[in-house]
Structure 1
Amino acid sequence: MARIKPQTLLLQSKKKKGPTRISVITIIFCNLIVVLIVLSLAATYRHWSQRSSNQAGAELSTLEDADAFVDSTKYDLPGYAILNTSKGYVTVELFKEGSPEIVDKFLDLCQKGHFKGMLFHRVIKNYVIQGGDSEGLGTAEDWISKGKSQSQLATSPKHEAFMLGTSKTKENGKGFDLFITTAPIPDLNDKLIVFGRVIKGEDIVQEIEEVDTDEHYRPKSRVGIINVALRHEI
């Protein structure tokens, strides 16, 4: 068997233990792969962020467009009015759909304080109580005589007791009368626009109806509306 020289063994040992060298091309290639992965992740993040923003903007735009076609004020209008009278509280439901223009005017006047301190200047027992301007509807005697002659006529819900109305003669003017019927009245259809009904406080209306009046049906003591509060719900 041939004997290996010590120098030869030393050279073989160095070759086995020495580190493996990586080429420059391999290092550059690996770095390019890492850079490409980072750039790809960044592009993906920007894409989804922009998409989320666009979706949010589209939803907001859709909501704004919907609001542009929906009259939100129509649904936000109060549906009830609480009349604080000198005898107590009377709660009225407003006919927003049946008499929208009159209700709008009534609500506007309430907000301006038009009814604050308004007196009921005409009180006709078993007929009607009236606040506001006393002109334009004729004498109380005319009302009563006409009412008696037509008392047998068929009545609709508009002509029942405890209905809230205003004078047709004031519809296009600056004045605004308030009437609360205390009995079914079929003959006032050509004079009054009914735009609400009393749903609470009928006893207060009847108490006002019982006040002492003079020969012209004017209350001998002051009775009227202190203020009006508007409500969306009762």
Structure 2
Amino acid sequence: MAKIKPQALLLQSKKKKGPTRISLSTIVSCNVIVILIVLSLYATFRHWYHRSNDQLGTGLETFEHSEIFGESTRSDLPSYAIFSTAKGLITIELNKDSSRDVVDKFVDLCRKGYFKGMLFDHVIKNFVIQGAHSQRSGVAEDWIPKGKAHSRLGISPKHEAFVLGTRKPNKDSKEFELFITTAPIPDLNEKLMVFGRVIKGEDVVQEIEEVDTDEHYRPKSPVGIIDIALKQEA
């Protein structure tokens, strides 16, 4: 085999090509692709950012609307009301399912202290004990249930003993009075809206029922509600 002379090797090395140069068009194309990717990522970010803000804004508007107009869900309302009276404690289970609007108004008035010092101004044995503010006319203001009011408890076809109700509002009487029945009274179905049931303190109700009254069924000695505490658990 013939040997290649050193001069020939030197000439061949000079003929070898250097590194391939990247063309200008390739550089421009790559830059364009990078810019498009960045713009696409930015557009995606803006889309999700505005979407999350819109959802947050809608949630806040709904919350503010419910706060302004007093709207509340069934879970927001307390389940029990504990009446503190001069004779002892009476625990009422509130009926939030079939009497939600009435319970909502009752809870609102409790939180405003409306029932503090309310007297049982009529006590009729084997009938009802009635609480009202005879000297505070108009304090409760006008109130009308927003939905179709149920005048009885879902589990009871009649007004049984030891249920709590209020008079249906009308043009003559707009106060929020309280009635606790002491016997089954079916004929009250058209007059009262029942929204609770006594679960503890029946003996206290009966003790109030036994107070001495005048010929107009007004207690001779004042007896009434000292305060009402709202609870989620009895």
TM norm structure 1: 0.64
Matches within 5 A, 1:163-202: 163-168=163-168, 173-189=173-189, 191-202=191-202
Match of 1:73 in 2: 72
Matches within 5 A, 1:84-163: 84-96=84-96, 98-99=98-99, 102-132=102-132, 157-163=157-163
Query: Using a 3 Å threshold, how does the CA distance of structure 1 residues 123 and 191 change in structure 2: closer, same or farther?
Result: same
Match of 2:45 in 1: 49
Contact 1:158–1:194 under 8 Å retained in 2: no
Which structure's CA Rg is the greater one? 1
Query: Using a 3 Å threshold, how does the CA distance of structure 1 residues 120 and 98 change in structure 2: closer, same or farther?
Result: same
> d(CA) in 2 for partners of 1:226 and 1:89?
10
Q: Which of residues 31, 49, 53 in structure 2 aligns to 1:35?
A: 31
Give ranges in structure 1 of 5+ residues lacking alignment.
136-155
> d(CA) in 1 for partners of 2:173 and 2:158?
23
How many residues matched? 208
Query: Using a 3 Å threshold, how does the CA distance of structure 1 residues 206 and 157 change in structure 2: closer, same or farther?
Result: farther
The aligned amino acid for 1:38 is V
Contact 2:123–2:213 under 8 Å retained in 1: no
Give ranges in structure 2 of 5+ residues lacking alignment.
136-155
Show CA shifts across 1:131-152 (max 9, x none).
22579xxxxxxxxxxxxxxxxx
Show CA shifts across 1:150-209 (max 9, x none).
xxxxxx643210121234587753533221111112344455443332233323222322
> d(CA) in 2 for partners of 1:53 and 1:122?
63
SS state at 1:229 partner: strand
Higher helix share: 1
SS state at 1:73 partner: coil
> d(CA) in 1 for partners of 2:167 and 2:212?
22
1:21 aligns with 2:18: yes
TM norm structure 2: 0.64
After superposition, the CA RMSD in angstroms is 4.2
> d(CA) in 1 for partners of 2:176 and 2:205?
19
Query: Using a 3 Å threshold, how does the CA distance of structure 1 residues 133 and 62 change in structure 2: closer, same or farther?
Result: closer
